[in-house]
């Protein structure tokens, strides 16, 4: 790897000019991809109207994107290690810009699904390669942790700014504008990546030994799994289609393990899972993302359906959360250098669990400020975990295989999010059904006036749905608590990793 003469000695604080530019570059590219993933759902009602399709048909716009992204993240993580990261990274940004423009020009559902799949494929290049670029360019342990903290916060900020940016664009222009906005920003990101990112891979292995069959079987297994998680509630979790998906996913993943143990260059090196630090990091990430995403993704639905918020006001509600993440991500990164990461992650998740417990008291009497303050406080805990968890996952892995390790971390978080949405949407539905029975059981209406009875039924339904949200947040809190406890099993290995980088061990 080419050394940058501007870099300061290890242990000194503050980034060099070149490090700042590189960090801004990867943050911009990552922000674009994640913003697109959050904002498209806002446009679905408009797309349904323009294309003349049903809600069920429109759901495939999101489903196809999620499946394609899950399949290709590990593939590109491995390809980056084999053929070089910079050309693949540039291909990803350029491909995303082109596919975004095409998605904005879509004339029907079929073309939209095709272009969304292309978007998902190209954006799946970003996560593993961005982390590899950070790992190679920030060799000092403290600066690398801070860089990862800032970069990781982009994911939360993008999720927050999705409604804020998408709402006004859709309301004032059209749904196509949310795709077109990616073009100028993507061009800037492409120029910066071409100009400032250096290729870290010095010895290109090539793709002659690329694990084609492993990639195909993994893709089939992940595709079936994500499909049933996304569609299972509408299909029925025990329906024939769901059962077939379970079987295909299980058999494919078993076959994948068998194939990987016989490959010279496996797309996922199973030896990583023998590293306790790496495996525990994945487990903690999976549990916590399942709880956090599964719980909070329903909050916009609550405030819009029961509080009367429009899309733009919902976006404003999440602005304090964005600032909370930016602040706490940096604090968490700095603390993880001074103290063992497991304690930083534990503290952050315990605090997030407490805020989720407060959310379990959600009620129609809550004000805008009440929601905003709780979201800000929640972000303070969540941001603490970004850098320590990411650093803990990639630190014990050989430097030349950071791309694969990063892709596995991304895959764990993506699948966890799909599990969380599926589980908590089911909890919400079942909770509402159970709550309405309890409300009916203990409600007495001393009138036969049909207007009063109709109004009473409406109020009882609202009460039942609010109760079901209470159950969702309690469940989310329990998952997050489990993640906090699992975090205590993390072991710090960042010093060992830093030594490998500085001594050139494992460099290609």
What CATH architecture applies to the domain 9-208?
Up-down Bundle (1.20)
| Measured CA distances, 50 to 44, 60, 107, 171, 198 (Å) | 10, 16, 9, 14, 44
pLDDT for position 115: 92
Place of tokens 């196509």: 176
Residue 252 belongs to what H/E stretch? Answer: helix 240-260
pLDDT score at 436: 63
CA–CA separation, 24 vs 161, rounded Å?
Answer: 18
What pLDDT, on a 0 to 100 scale, did the predictor assign at position 244? 93
DSSP string covering 52-115 = T--HHHHHHHHHHHHHHHHHHHHHHHHHHHHH-HHHHHHHHHHHHHHHHHHHHT--SHHHHHHH
d(CA 472, CA 63): 23
Q: What is the DSSP letter of 298?
A: T
Domain borders along the chain are 9-208, 212-262, 271-508
DSSP string, 181-202: THHHHHHHHHHHHHHH------
Separation between Cα atoms, residue 123 and residue 118, nearest integer Å: 9
Report the sign of the C-alpha dihedral through residues 210, 213, 215, 216, in that order: positive
Containing H/E element for 468? helix 450-487
Is the Cβ–Cβ distance between 22 and 85 less than 8 Å? no
Q: Supply the pLDDT for residue 295.
A: 63
What per-residue confidence (pLDDT) applies to 243? Answer: 93
Give, for all 508 residues of the chain, the pLDDT tens digit.
Answer: 444 444 444 444 477 888 888 889 988 888 888 777 778 877 877 888 888 887 677 778 877 888 888 888 888 877 877 777 788 889 999 999 999 999 999 989 889 999 999 998 998 888 788 888 887 888 777 777 778 777 877 776 776 677 777 778 887 888 898 899 889 988 999 999 898 888 766 666 666 677 788 888 888 888 888 888 878 877 888 899 999 999 999 999 899 889 888 877 787 778 778 888 888 888 888 887 777 776 677 787 788 778 888 777 877 887 888 788 878 887 887 887 788 888 888 999 999 999 999 998 888 889 999 999 999 999 888 888 877 887 777 777 776 677 777 778 777 877 887 787 778 778 877 766 665 656 556 555 655 656 655 565 555 666 667 777 888 888 888 888 988 898 888 775 444 444 443 443 333 3
Q: What is the pTM of this model?
A: 0.75
Let me know the angle formed at the C-alpha of 159 by 158 and 162, rounded to the nearest 5 degrees. Answer: 80
Secondary structure tally for the chain: helices H, strands E: 19, 0
At residue 397, the pLDDT reads: 73
Do the two domains 9-208 and 271-508 of this chain adopt the same fold? yes
Single out the residue of 477, 490, 451 nearest to residue 276, CA to CA.
490
Contact 383, 156 (CB under 8 A): yes
Q: Is 222 helix (H, G, I), strand (E, B) or coil?
A: helix
Q: How far apart are CA 466 and CA 299, in angstroms?
A: 11
Q: How much is the pLDDT for 36?
A: 77
pLDDT at 392: 77
Q: What's the confidence (pLDDT) of residue 7?
A: 44
Nearest alpha carbon to residue 72 among 84, 64, 62: 64
Q: What is the pLDDT of residue 2?
A: 44
Dihedral angle, C-alpha 346, 273, 228, 436, nearest 10 °: -20
- The secondary structure of residue 2, as a DSSP letter, is P
Domain 271-508: give its CATH code: 1.20.1250.20
Residue 54, phi then psi, degrees to nearest 5: -90, 170
Residue 280's CB is within 10 A of a number of other CB atoms, namely: 20
């Amino acid at each position: 790897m080419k050394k940058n003469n501007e870099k300061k000695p290890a242990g000194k604080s503050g980034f060099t000019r070149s490090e700042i530019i590189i960090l801004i570059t990867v943050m911009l590219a990552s922000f674009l991809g994640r913003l697109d993933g959050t904002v498209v759902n806002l446009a679905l009602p408009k797309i349904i109207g323009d294309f003349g399709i049903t809600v069920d048909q429109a759901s495939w716009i999101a489903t196809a994107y999620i499946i394609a992204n899950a399949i290709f993240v590990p593939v590109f993580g491995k390809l980056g290690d084999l053929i070089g990261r910079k050309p693949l990274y540039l291909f990803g940004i350029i491909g995303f810009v082109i596919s975004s423009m095409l998605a904005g020009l879509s004339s029907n559902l079929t073309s939209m699904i095709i272009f969304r799949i292309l978007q998902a494929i190209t954006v799946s290049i970003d996560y593993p390669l961005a982390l590899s670029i950070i790992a190679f360019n920030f060799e000092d342990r403290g600066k690398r942790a801070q860089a990862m903290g800032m970069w990781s916060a982009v994911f939360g900020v993008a999720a927050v700014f999705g409604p804020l940016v998408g709402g006004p664009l859709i309301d004032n222009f059209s749904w196509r504008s949310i795709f077109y906005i990616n073009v100028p920003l993507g061009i800037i990101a492409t120029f910066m990546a071409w100009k400032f990112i250096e290729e870290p891979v010095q010895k290109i292995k090539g793709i002659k030994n690329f694990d084609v069959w492993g990639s195909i079987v993994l893709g089939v297994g992940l595709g079936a799994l994500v499909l049933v998680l996304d569609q299972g509630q509408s299909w029925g979790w025990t329906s024939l289609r769901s059962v077939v998906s379970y079987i295909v996913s299980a058999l494919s993943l078993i076959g994948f393990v068998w194939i990987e143990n016989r490959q010279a260059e496996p797309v996922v090196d199973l030896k990583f899972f023998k590293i306790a630090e790496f495996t525990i990091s994945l487990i903690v990430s999976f549990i916590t993302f399942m709880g956090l995403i599964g719980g909070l993704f329903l909050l916009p639905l609550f405030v819009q359906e029961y509080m009367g918020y429009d899309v733009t006001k919902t976006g404003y509600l999440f602005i304090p959360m964005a600032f909370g993440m930016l602040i706490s991500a940096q604090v968490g990164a700095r603390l993880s250098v001074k103290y063992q990461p497991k304690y930083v992650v534990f503290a952050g998740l315990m605090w997030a669990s407490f805020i989720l417990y407060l959310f379990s008291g959600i009620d129609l009497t809550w004000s805008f400020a009440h929601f905003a303050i709780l979201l800000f406080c929640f972000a303070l805990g969540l941001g603490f975990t970004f850098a320590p968890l990411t650093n803990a996952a990639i630190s014990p892995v050989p430097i030349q295989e950071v791309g694969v390790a990063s892709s596995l971390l991304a895959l764990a978080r993506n699948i966890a999010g799909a599990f969380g949405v599926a589980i908590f949407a089911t909890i919400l539905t079942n909770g509402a059904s159970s709550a309405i029975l309890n409300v009916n059981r203990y409600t007495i209406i001393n009138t036969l006036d049909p207007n009063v009875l109709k109004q009473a039924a409406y109020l009882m339904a609202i009460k039942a749905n609010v109760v079901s949200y209470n159950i969702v947040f309690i469940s989310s809190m329990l998952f997050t608590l489990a993640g906090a406890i699992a975090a205590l099993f993390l072991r710090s290995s960042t010093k060992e990793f830093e030594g490998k980088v500085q001594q050139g061990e494992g460099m290609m």
